[in-house]
């Protein structure tokens, strides 16, 4: 009689997804229940958190009233050549084990992508990266996604996708069997974008500093990087924190991109559907290069990516480590940062507006009042490299506020009024750059756009030529002046760039004019 071999009993297949960078890719969870010694094997390049899933799911199954599958259970996460990370595969693995052991008959299994972490009680806990996963499920043509209830609002911002919120394993299993109906989660996108913070700051809170407010308006209108230079107590930080209040609102595309980054970083609040306010990130000067750019064993976004489509504020700029500041040069130019590891590389967006502040001298006083020697002042300023300064469009002096301005009862111009002018300027830029989706403001113009949209007449060109020669400006500073002048002209609703616009733009190169020597 021929020798018999053990045969596998049931194979179940569950759709899931994993996040790489800020995008998700589909993962098929295959669960095979076979004969032999009781053993659970997970293959397909799982990390430690995924491998530990076998213990969480086994206990969650028992505590949810299901039987633990006997025999050898093999779980494959395909594609097998891409590393799988995090606990989000707990729920699909558990459901696959139930289907493979024939404890449930999941008639709806092929319609949904499933993610979720399991507690030992069988409760479903929230996971990171649900929005990218929902977008990937829609792209794959699936009917919907099954996600933890706390992540449901986040996934529901994807139109045309059924989002099934589940709170525990038994709820998920009975829904897939068709014996329980769960209403899909829906969100009101218009209401989300109409939300405003209760403690919203306002530019009207700042007394005086009208020239600095003008510079902030220009920076916001063109998306320009700006450096505020002044003694302590002049309101540099106060002004910087109010820049988001004069920036144009996020578009849906920007909101989705920003939310994806915050989702994979685990920064969304429970039940939060979308990031609808421009982010404002202010890391401490002790931040590492990995903290600023992103990194880690499993690379995650850093501060420059968390500030994407918003503001990155670096206070006390010379106090940051020089090597940390230098790592920002390429992301400032490219609008993205690539983190390379032996296992591969990940790219995160970093289209942020850099706002920085610094004292004019080591002791914080203006040069004519400082006890620091000229050499000490130059060494202090030298902590910021020339190439980095070239990438900052506006260098603005923030003087001490006069007593009359501090005690004045006259209200300042509110952020809403300034924001309206900024939005009008941005609309002119969007019309100018129509058909170029990544070119949304003047600060992102390349050489081709500069040549097309920043033409100067002979008198204006002579003024710029004199400034370049007199101040010994670099080619990059020349480009920055043109971009700022283009924004000043847009704020004035002027098509040509005039000598007045160029002259004001030159005034915003304080450090180039060596005011502190």
Q: Kindly report, residue by residue over 89-106, the tens digit of the pLDDT.
A: 999 999 999 999 889 988
At residue 274, the pLDDT reads 92
**Cis link prior to 79 (omega < 30° from 0)?**
yes
C-beta separation of 130 from 117 below 8 A: no
Strand partners, 23: 20
pLDDT at 364: 85
Q: How far apart are CA 305 and CA 351, in angstroms?
A: 8
Report strand pairing: 72-78 vs 124-125: unpaired
Task: Look at residues 419, 350, 351 and name the one whose alpha carbon lies nearest to residue 196.
Answer: 419
Distances (CA, A) of 222 to 175, 285, 387, 461: 51, 27, 21, 21
- In angstroms and rounded to an integer, the radius of gyration of the C-alpha atoms of the chain is 28
pTM of the model: 0.89
CA distances from 264 to 3, 47, 126, 127, 165 (A): 52, 17, 12, 9, 19
Per-residue pLDDT of the chain (517 residues; tens, 9 = 90+): 444 444 445 589 999 999 988 899 999 999 998 777 778 899 998 988 899 998 999 999 999 999 988 888 999 999 998 889 889 999 999 999 999 988 998 888 889 999 999 999 999 999 999 999 999 999 999 999 999 999 999 999 999 999 999 999 999 999 999 999 999 999 998 888 887 665 678 998 888 889 999 999 999 999 999 999 999 988 999 999 999 999 999 999 999 999 999 999 999 988 889 999 999 999 999 999 889 998 877 788 999 999 999 999 999 999 999 999 999 998 998 899 988 776 667 889 999 999 999 999 998 888 878 888 888 888 888 888 888 888 899 999 998 887 677 767 677 899 999 999 999 999 999 999 998 878 889 999 998 999 999 999 999 999 999 888 887 777 778 889 999 999 999 999 999 999 999 999 999 987 765 544 4
32 Cβ contact partners less than 8 Å away, ≥ 6 residues apart = 8, 10, 11, 73, 74, 75, 76, 100
Please report the pLDDT score of residue 315 as a whole number: 95
Query: DSSP 3-state assignment of 286?
Result: coil
Domains and CATH numbers, the chain: 10-177 (3.30.230.10)
Measured CA to CA, the distance from residue 318 to residue 309 in angstroms comes to 25
The pLDDT score that the predictor gives to residue 4 is 44
């Amino acid at each position: 009689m021929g020798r018999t071999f053990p045969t596998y009993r049931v194979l179940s297949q569950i759709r899931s997804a994993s996040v790489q960078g800020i995008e998700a890719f589909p993962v098929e969870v295959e669960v095979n229940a076979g004969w032999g010694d009781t053993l659970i094997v997970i293959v397909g390049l799982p990390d430690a958190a995924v491998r530990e899933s076998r213990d969480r799911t086994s206990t969650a199954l028992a505590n949810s009233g299901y039987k633990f599958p006997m025999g050898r259970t093999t779980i494959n996460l395909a594609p097998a050549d891409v590393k799988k990370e995090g606990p989000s595969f707990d729920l699909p693995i558990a459901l696959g084990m139930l289907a493979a052991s024939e404890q449930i008959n999941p008639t709806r299994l092929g319609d949904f992508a499933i993610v979720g972490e399991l507690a030992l009680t069988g409760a479903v806990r929230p996971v990171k990266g649900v929005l990218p996963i929902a977008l990937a499920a829609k792209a794959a043509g699936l009917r919907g996604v099954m996600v933890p209830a706390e992540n449901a609002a986040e996934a529901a911002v994807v139109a045309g996708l059924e989002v099934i919120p589940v709170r525990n394993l038994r709820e998920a299993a009975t829904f897939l069997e068709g014996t329980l109906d769960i209403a899909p989660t829906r969100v009101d996108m218009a209401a989300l974008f109409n939300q405003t913070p209760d403690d919203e700051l306002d530019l009207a809170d700042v007394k005086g500093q009208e020239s600095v407010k003008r510079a902030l308006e220009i920076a916001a209108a063109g998306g320009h990087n700006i450096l505020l230079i002044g003694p302590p107590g002049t309101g540099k930080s106060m002004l910087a924190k109010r820049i988001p209040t004069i920036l144009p609102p996020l578009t849906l595309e920007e909101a989705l991109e920003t939310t994806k980054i915050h989702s994979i970083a685990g920064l969304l609040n429970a039940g939060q559907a979308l990031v609808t306010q421009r982010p404002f990130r202010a890391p401490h000067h002790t931040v590492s290069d990995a903290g600023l750019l992103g990194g880690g064993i499993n690379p995650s976004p850093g501060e420059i990516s968390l500030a994407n489509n918003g503001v990155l504020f670096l206070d006390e700029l010379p106090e940051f480590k020089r090597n940390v500041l230098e790592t920002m040069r390429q992301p400032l130019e490219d609008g993205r940062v690539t983190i390379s590891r032996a296992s591969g590389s990940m790219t995160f967006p970093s289209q942020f507006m850099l706002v920085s502040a610094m004292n004019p001298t080591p002791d914080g006083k203006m040069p004519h009042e400082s006890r620091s020697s000229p050499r000490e002042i130059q060494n202090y300023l030298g902590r910021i490299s020339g190439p980095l300064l070239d990438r900052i469009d506006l260098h603005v002096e923030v003087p001490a506020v006069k007593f009359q301005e501090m005690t004045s009862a006259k209200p300042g111009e509110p952020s809403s009024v300034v924001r309206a002018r900024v939005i009008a300027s941005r609309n002119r830029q969007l019309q100018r750059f129509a058909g170029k989706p990544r070119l949304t403001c003047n600060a992102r113009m390349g050489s081709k756009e500069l040549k097309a949209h920043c033409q100067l007449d002979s008198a204006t060109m002579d003024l710029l030529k004199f400034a370049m020669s007199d101040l010994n400006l670099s080619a990059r500073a020349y480009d920055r002046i043109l971009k700022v002048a283009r924004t000043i002209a847009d704020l004035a609703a002027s098509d040509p760039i005039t000598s007045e616009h160029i002259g004001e733009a030159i005034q915003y190169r304080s450090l180039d004019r060596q005011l502190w020597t």
